[in-house]
């Protein structure tokens, strides 16, 4: 329960920290760290506008999307604190829960009948498809390494103590950072700040959403970031520390993660749309590094 | 050409008696025009018709880069004749836009024209059958293809224009751009106003981002039609402003391209640099876009010593920062990856559609009015033009940087070698008397490219026809070609790299 509460709490500040970092590097005035929260509260006060071409799917999509992301938070442990729910194979459930939400958003976007939103939906579907293998190779390798297949068990048994295991953690963290970027449609595959519909991926899908629905979509984004941040912190937090220190450390890592995202988004231009699939497959290729390392450590491959 | 050895040639900013223009038969005109335009050194800068007695007189102005002058050709279509001509476009595609304009305004049908569609839906056009909502878009019928329509109302605060993409998935097969949503009738407004000051202010509003370019062309025409001589110093001051406008807009474009590539760091840094330049224009004339700076017959804002000192300082500061940032941005792998090989227009295509200015020079065509048809300022201080080869977005991105450098070098040259005397005061003169029955043409290399203004006076010495051609007229076609076989998500960077004018086209 505590892990759930601190995760939700950290998610509120996440996007604010990213914007602050970006503004600072670019030499602009920094927005308040709570600006995203104000924006969402404002949206909650507004009514939603629905296009006459849409059906019930369009109205359901944001709610289902939000609930799947919200539910996925239940599975995430923080250090020694287990998540609200935990069972064997829960990481597979976790991925397809997010997948279901995304699927709803995609058909919701198609439901509007707009050529822009169809375009965005088709891109989002492709990118989610391509990033999935990377996640499974990564989690599969960790499962092989620890002999456990639930998030909590897996991370509590992840003892990193020699050079080869350090490789696993470094590469995994790298992967999780970029998966978080893809999952949230950030740079380099998408630019959340752009005003150009033709180049958008996620933003164009939610063009027709307004008011309450849009607020849910925004909160889902925060939660997703926090979830990935928590997964990263699980790699780093030493399991033998006392729980209060672990919690403090968790917040430190969340903040650092947000700052890293700010940096990553500032110092480069986005990809050409055609090169995105290639870039995403690269993530799977890097995940194979983790897999091979695991095979070596567990003596499935014996090096001479 | 043996049939007509004596071509009528005039210099840039020169006026000529209308009686001296020989009216050819259409067959001769056709053969001669096609023959002349085959030459790479010549291109048509304007081709228009105006009501003449009971019919129409057609005037074509061909810029000859070698002789540094303009060839005038003309023919007449009587009102009693069949309003139909053989299309020149069939043999020289670059003329398509002019024939479309004449077709729309006067209802003259051009047989064999491959793309005879209305251009800007003027309120007083002859061709009323087609309204703006039933524009005949090019269509491809296939199950796999879909159309994407963008505009005329856009999400940002840009002007109206409709873009119709025919796409195969993410790939664009064809783009057609339909403009004319905001036709103001500015050519007619200029004729309607009697007061020269009012006319000058109208000229400043032809295209909001080319204030100095268009006003310069207008003022040069007015001075040429009235034989008004202004000091060399004023000519040089005007060209200084023209170059400053070029620097300001180019740097704004570079910044905007960074935005579209999601490199906001570069965008902010370049964006900041635009301010000192436009602020200097404000210091000089009271307006950041240089409005009220250029006036016929003189100037209200002489270039004083203080301004000169200030400009030196601004340029030194500007150049140092600009080079520093450009060094990083132009070498950034992700920027190169985003811009390289996107939206290429080959030299052959660029020649075919007759692009001018920046979009000609990005495909390695040396077309620059400052070099080929210099006015007094550029004659005294020659400008060496710069081209790049590849014709893609990166080429345009790079060309803007190079042009900024060249403009700074030119301004430095002027500031150091010309002796500005602020005591000489020539005030604007709004009571110019025009020569009767004259034609005058002015070409100016605005930041976007070649601006061509033509004016005709009647026997009382009043303006009877005024024709404006903004470089965007030709260059929108280049944007259409850029999008062939390019991803639809690359449209914004292509569009921004040209930064064409809607109102300059729509007038």
Cα angle B5, B7, B8; round to 5 = 150
**A303 part of a folded domain:** no
Closest in A116, A197, A269 to B262, CB measured = A269
- Section A209-226 average pLDDT: 92
Within 8 A of B262 by CB-CB distance, chain A residues are 187-188, 191, 193-194, 265, 269-270
Torsion of CA A272, A273, A276, A278, to 10 degrees: -80
Which of A28, A272, A282 should one mutate to test binding to chain B, selecting the residue with the greatest count of B CBs within 10 A? A272
Interchain CB distance below 8 Å, B155 and A195: yes
Interchain CB distance below 8 Å, B264 and A266: yes
Within 8 A of B264 by CB-CB distance, chain A residues are 22, 26, 193, 266
Interchain CB distance below 8 Å, B489 and A115: no
CATH 3.30.565.10 assigned to domain B186-475? The reply is no
Rounded CA-CA distance B76/A281 in Å is 66
Closest in A28, A195, A269 to B156, CB measured = A195
Comparing alpha-carbon positions, the chain B residue that sits nearest to A269 is B263
Closest alpha carbon to B307 in B241, B214, B250, B405: B241
Beta-carbon neighbour count of residue A223 at 10 Å? 21
Interchain CB distance below 8 Å, A199 and B492: yes
How near does any CA of chain A get to the CA of B405, in Å? 24
Closest in B148, B342, B487 to A115, CB measured = B148
Within 8 A of A25 by CB-CB distance, chain B residues are 265
From residue B27, alpha-carbon distances to B50, B86, B92, B287 in Å are 20, 9, 15, 50
Within 8 A of A115 by CB-CB distance, chain B residues are 146-149
Closest alpha carbon to B468 in B489, B441, B488: B441
Using DSSP, state whether B89 is helix, strand or coil: helix
Q: What is the pLDDT of residue B400?
A: 93
Rounded CA-CA distance B72/B12 in Å is 12
Q: What is the pLDDT of residue B5?
A: 55
Within 8 A of A196 by CB-CB distance, chain B residues are 260, 492
Task: Compute φ and ψ for B64, nearest 5 degrees.
Answer: -105, 110
Residues of chain A in Cβ contact (below 8 Å) with chain B = 22, 25-28, 115-116, 119, 187-188, 191, 193-199, 265-275
Closest in B148, B263, B489 to A199, CB measured = B489
Closest in B146, B147, B492 to A198, CB measured = B492
CB-count burial class (<10 Å; 0-12, 13-18, 19+) for B173: middle
How near does any CA of chain B get to the CA of A108, in Å? 19
3-state SS string for B417-465? HCCCCCCCCCCCCCCCCCCCCEEEEEEEECCCCEEEEEEEECCCCCEEE
Identify the helix (H) or strand (E) that includes residue B369. helix B369-372
Per the structure, the count of domains in chain A is 1
- Section A189-195 average pLDDT: 85
Closest alpha carbon to A278 in A163, A130, A134: A130
Rounded CA-CA distance B449/B396 in Å is 13
How near does any CA of chain A get to the CA of B483, in Å? 13
Rounded CA-CA distance A28/B115 in Å is 49
Rounded CA-CA distance B211/B289 in Å is 7
Please state, rounded to an integer, the average pLDDT across all residues of chain A: 89
What is the model's pTM? 0.90
At A30-52, the pLDDT tens digits run 999 999 999 999 999 998 899 88
Whether B45 contacts B24, CB under 8 Å: no
Q: What is the DSSP string of B287-333?
A: STT-TTT-BTTB-SS---HHHHHHHHHHHHHHHHHHHHHHHHHTT-H
Do the strands B55-64 and B463-469 form a parallel or antiparallel pair, or are they unpaired? unpaired
Interchain CB distance below 8 Å, B338 and A269: yes
Q: What is the pLDDT of residue A160?
A: 67
Interchain CB distance below 8 Å, A272 and B487: yes
Using DSSP, state whether B487 is helix, strand or coil: strand
Interchain CB distance below 8 Å, A270 and B148: no
From residue A262, alpha-carbon distances to A30, A170, B302 in Å are 13, 20, 49
Which of A30, A198, A201 should one mutate to test binding to chain B, selecting the residue with the greatest count of B CBs within 10 A? A198
Q: What is the pLDDT of residue B2?
A: 44
Comparing alpha-carbon positions, the chain B residue that sits nearest to A26 is B265
How near does any CA of chain B get to the CA of A185, in Å? 13
CB-count burial class (<10 Å; 0-12, 13-18, 19+) for A52: exposed
- Section A271-296 average pLDDT: 90
Closest in A197, A266, A273 to B265, CB measured = A266
Beta-carbon neighbour count of residue B471 at 10 Å? 29
Domain spans of chain B, in order of start: 8-119, 186-475
How near does any CA of chain B get to the CA of A60, in Å? 27
Q: What is the pLDDT of residue B1?
A: 46
Q: Which domain holds residue A213?
A: 2-297
The fold of B8-119 is Beta Polymerase; domain 2 (3.30.460)
Interchain CB distance below 8 Å, B170 and A274: yes
Task: Compute φ and ψ for A270, nearest 5 degrees.
Answer: -80, 170
From residue A286, alpha-carbon distances to A134, A135, A268 in Å are 8, 11, 21
ipTM over 0.85: yes
Mean pLDDT for back-to-back runs of 10 residues, chain B (507 residues): 66 86 87 88 90 88 89 87 86 90 89 87 84 86 86 80 89 90 89 89 90 92 88 89 93 92 90 92 90 88 88 93 93 91 90 89 90 89 90 92 93 88 81 87 91 90 89 90 90 90 88
Closest alpha carbon to B284 in B306, B266, B261, B301: B301
How near does any CA of chain A get to the CA of B268, in Å? 7
Closest in A25, A198, A268 to B489, CB measured = A198
Interchain CB distance below 8 Å, A198 and B150: yes
How near does any CA of chain A get to the CA of B263, in Å? 5
Within 8 A of B490 by CB-CB distance, chain A residues are 272-273
- Which residues are within 8 A (CB) of B87 and not within 5 positions of it... i.e. 6 or more apart? B99, B110, B111, B112, B113, B114, B116
Closest in A26, A187, A197 to B262, CB measured = A187
Closest in A27, A268, A274 to B334, CB measured = A268
How near does any CA of chain A get to the CA of B454, in Å? 38
Closest alpha carbon to B498 in B377, B324, B353: B353
**A281 part of a folded domain:** yes
Q: What is the pLDDT of residue A203?
A: 87
At A99-142, the pLDDT tens digits run 999 999 999 999 998 888 888 898 999 998 999 999 999 999 98
Cα angle B42, B44, B46; round to 5 = 150
Within 8 A of A266 by CB-CB distance, chain B residues are 264-265
Closest in A22, A115, A269 to B146, CB measured = A115
Torsion of CA B446, B448, B449, B455, to 10 degrees: -60
Interchain CB distance below 8 Å, A188 and B334: yes
Which of A29, A269, A275, A276 should one mutate to test binding to chain B, selecting the residue with the greatest count of B CBs within 10 A? A269
Interchain CB distance below 8 Å, A199 and B170: no
3-state SS string for chain A? CHHHHHHHHHHHHHHHHHHHHHHHHHCCCCCCCCHHHHHHHHHHHCCCCCCCCCCHHHHHHHHHHHHHHHHHHCCCCECCECCCCCCCCHHHHHHHHHHHHHHHHHHHHHHCCCHHHHHHHHHHHHHHHHHHHHHHHHHHHHHHHHCCCCHHHHHHCCCCCCHHHHHHHHHHHHHHHHHHHHHCCCCCCCCCCCCCHHHCCHHHHCCCCCHHHHHHHHHHHHHHHHHHHHHHHHHHCCCCCCHHHHHHHHHHHHHHHHHHHHHHHHCCCCCCHHHHHHHHHHHHHHHHHHHHHHHHHCCCCCCC
Whether B469 contacts B46, CB under 8 Å: yes
Which of B264, B267, B331 should one mutate to test binding to chain A, selecting the residue with the greatest count of A CBs within 10 A? B264
Interchain CB distance below 8 Å, B338 and A270: yes
Whether B349 contacts B479, CB under 8 Å: no
At A77-93, the pLDDT tens digits run 888 888 888 888 888 99
* Tokens read off for A158: 């992840």
Task: Compute φ and ψ for B311, nearest 5 degrees.
Answer: -65, -40
């Amino acid at each position: 329960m505590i892990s759930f509460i601190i995760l939700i709490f950290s998610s509120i500040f996440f996007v604010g920290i990213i914007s602050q970092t970006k503004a600072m590097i670019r030499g602009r005035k920094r927005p308040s760290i709570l600006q995203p929260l104000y924006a969402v509260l404002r949206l909650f006060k507004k009514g939603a506008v629905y296009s006459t071409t849409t059906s019930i799917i369009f109205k359901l999509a944001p709610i289902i999307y939000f609930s799947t992301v919200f539910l996925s938070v239940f599975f995430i442990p923080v250090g020694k604190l287990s998540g609200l729910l935990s069972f064997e194979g829960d990481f597979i459930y976790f991925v397809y829960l997010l997948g279901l939400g995304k699927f709803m958003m995609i058909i919701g976007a198609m439901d509007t009948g707009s050529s822009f939103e169809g375009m965005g939906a088709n891109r989002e579907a492709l990118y989610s498809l391509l990033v999935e293998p990377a996640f499974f190779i990564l989690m599969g390798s960790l499962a092989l390494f620890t002999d456990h297949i639930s998030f909590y068990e897996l991370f509590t048994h992840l003892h990193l103590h020699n050079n080869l295991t350090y490789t696993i953690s470094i590469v995994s963290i790298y992967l999780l950072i970029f998966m978080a970027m893809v999952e949230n449609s950030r740079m380099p595959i998408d630019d959340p700040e752009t005003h150009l519909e033709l180049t958008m991926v996620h933003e164009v899908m939610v063009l027709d959403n307004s008011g309450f629905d849009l607020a849910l979509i925004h909160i889902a984004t925060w939660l997703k970031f926090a979830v990935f941040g928590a997964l990263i912190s699980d790699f780093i937090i030493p399991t033998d520390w006392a729980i209060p220190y672990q919690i403090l450390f968790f917040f430190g890592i969340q903040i650092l993660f947000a700052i890293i995202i700010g940096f990553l988004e500032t110092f480069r231009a986005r990809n050409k749309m055609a090169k995105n699939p290639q870039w995403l497959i690269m993530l799977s290729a890097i995940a194979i590094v983790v897999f091979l390392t695991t095979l070596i450590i567990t003596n499935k491959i014996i090096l001479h | 050409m043996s049939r007509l050895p004596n071509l009528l040639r005039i210099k840039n900013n020169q006026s000529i008696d209308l009686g001296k223009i020989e009216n050819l038969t259409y067959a001769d005109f056709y053969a001669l025009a096609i023959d002349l335009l085959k030459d790479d050194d010549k291109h048509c800068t304007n081709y228009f018709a105006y009501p003449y007695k009971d019919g129409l007189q057609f005037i074509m102005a061909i810029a000859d880069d070698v002789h540094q002058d303009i060839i005038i050709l003309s023919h007449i279509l009587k009102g009693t004749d069949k309003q139909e001509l053989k299309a020149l476009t069939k043999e020289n595609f670059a003329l398509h836009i002019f024939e479309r304009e004449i077709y729309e305004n006067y209802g003259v049908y051009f047989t064999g024209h491959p793309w005879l569609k209305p251009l800007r839906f003027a309120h007083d056009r002859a061709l009323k059958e087609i309204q703006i909502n039933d524009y005949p878009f090019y269509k491809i019928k296939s199950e796999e293809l879909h159309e994407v329509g963008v505009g005329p109302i856009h999400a940002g605060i840009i002007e109206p224009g409709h873009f119709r993409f025919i796409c195969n998935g993410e790939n664009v097969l064809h783009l057609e751009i339909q403009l004319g949503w905001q036709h103001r009738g500015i050519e007619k407004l200029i004729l309607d106003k009697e007061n020269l000051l009012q006319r000058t202010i109208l000229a400043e509003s032809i295209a909001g981002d080319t204030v100095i370019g268009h006003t310069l062309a207008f003022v040069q025409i007015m001075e040429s039609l009235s034989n008004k001589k202004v000091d060399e110093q004023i000519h040089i001051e005007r060209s200084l402003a023209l170059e400053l406008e070029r620097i300001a807009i180019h740097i704004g474009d570079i910044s905007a391209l960074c935005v579209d590539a999601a490199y906001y760091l570069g965008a902010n840094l370049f964006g900041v640099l635009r301010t000192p330049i436009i602020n200097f224009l404000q210091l000089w004339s009271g307006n950041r876009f240089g409005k009220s700076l250029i006036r016929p017959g003189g100037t209200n804002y002489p270039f004083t010593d203080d301004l000169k000192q200030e400009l030196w300082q601004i340029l030194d500061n500007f150049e140092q920062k600009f080079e520093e940032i450009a060094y990083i941005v132009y070498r950034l792998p992700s920027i190169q990856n985003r811009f390289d090989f996107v939206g290429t227009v080959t030299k052959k295509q660029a020649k075919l559609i007759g692009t001018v200015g920046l979009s000609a020079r990005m495909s390695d065509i040396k077309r620059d009015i400052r070099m080929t048809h210099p006015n007094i300022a550029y004659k005294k201080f020659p400008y060496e033009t710069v081209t790049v080869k590849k014709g893609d977005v990166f080429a345009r991105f790079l060309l803007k940087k190079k042009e900024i450098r060249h403009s700074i070098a030119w301004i430095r040259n002027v500031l150091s070698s010309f002796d500005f005397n602020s005591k000489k005061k020539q005030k604007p003169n709004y009571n110019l008397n025009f020569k009767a029955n004259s034609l005058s043409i002015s070409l100016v290399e605005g930041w976007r490219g070649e601006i061509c203004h033509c004016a005709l006076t009647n026997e009382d010495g009043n303006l009877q026809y005024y024709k404006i051609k903004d470089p965007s007229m030709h260059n929108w076609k280049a944007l259409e070609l850029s999008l062939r076989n390019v991803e639809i998500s690359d449209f914004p960077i292509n569009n921004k790299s040209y930064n064409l004018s809607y109102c300059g086209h729509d007038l």
